[in-house]
Amino acid sequence: MKLKIFQVDAFSSRTLEGNPAAVCPLDDWLPDEMLKAIAAENNLAETAFFVGHGGRYQLRWFTPQVEVDLCGHATLATSWVLFNELSVPEDRLRFSTRGGELSVRRSGALLAMDFPGTMPRLCTPPAALLPALGIERAEVLEARDYVVVVDSEEEVARLVPDFAALRECTKFGVSVTARGEAFDFVSRWFGPRIGVDEDIVTGAAHAWLAPYWAGRLGKTVLTAQQGSTRKGQVGCEVTGNRVLISGYAATYMAGEIHV
């Protein structure tokens, strides 16, 4: 069987930046074990598979190890493929996912995802969490992931986590974030528990990072940057209990896989 595949760099307007995701359009769903095997073969943070037409799609995301309920950068990459590689005429896409109903609109080359927002809450983290990150003291909150708030962008940049230790003390992932200099806030995201030591740009994490920083900074429209050596840029707008997460994308590779 031959399947189309695209590799897209999400949250960047050019290739070799942002966060790469694989996208596979399907006519019908393949067995889960095959989807998992393809994602493991791709060995990217996420591989997205979708089925549908006419602006309405079922969408699923897989890391090299597990299926996940919500993924931002692979949703952005999927939307980019539909709009720019498959030339769908609609300006709005609707996705049915394990994480709920999502929609994506395009405005020129900019894509805006409408995600459910979550205000992270203060929590008592596992005792091993901050030592695994190499952080002495920080405010820790929890949404889907732990959110660790540190004092400076420089502290975020110099993190060298112990991934084996993080794997044992996280339920899913952890964002480390600080107020930015050129951006409203910056972050890095680590998820060794699900097979992704560090994700370059985690769109879904901005569904709780943006509400937190909106409250801290007293503004609803924010700019963000995520990553270490390789980075991507994210626009956020908090509207009630939703967050519009926007960014650009670029196709790095288009081809065919044989399975």
User: Look-up: residue for tokens 């996705």?
Assistant: 95
Token digits for 241? 């209990």
Q: What distance in Å separates the CA atoms of residue 97 and residue 154, rounded to the nearest whole number?
A: 36
Output DSSP code: residue 204.
G
Q: What is the chain's alpha carbon radius of gyration, rounded to the nearest angstrom?
A: 17
Residues 236 and 217: their CA atoms lie apart, in Å, by: 13
Helices (H), ranges, 86-190? 129-133, 153-157, 163-169
- Residue 142 annotated as catalytic: no
- What is the rounded CA–CA span in Å between residue 223 and residue 230? 17
Considering 17, 33, 46, 90, which one is annotated as catalytic?
46
| Alpha carbon separation from 244 to 15, 106, 163, 185 (Å, rounded) | 23, 12, 31, 16
Backbone phi and psi for residue 6, each to the nearest 5 degrees, phi listed first: -130, 140
CB 10 within 8 A of CB 74: yes
Task: Give the C-alpha distances (Å, rounded to integers) separating 149 from 56, 122, 156.
Answer: 37, 11, 9
Give the active site residues.
46
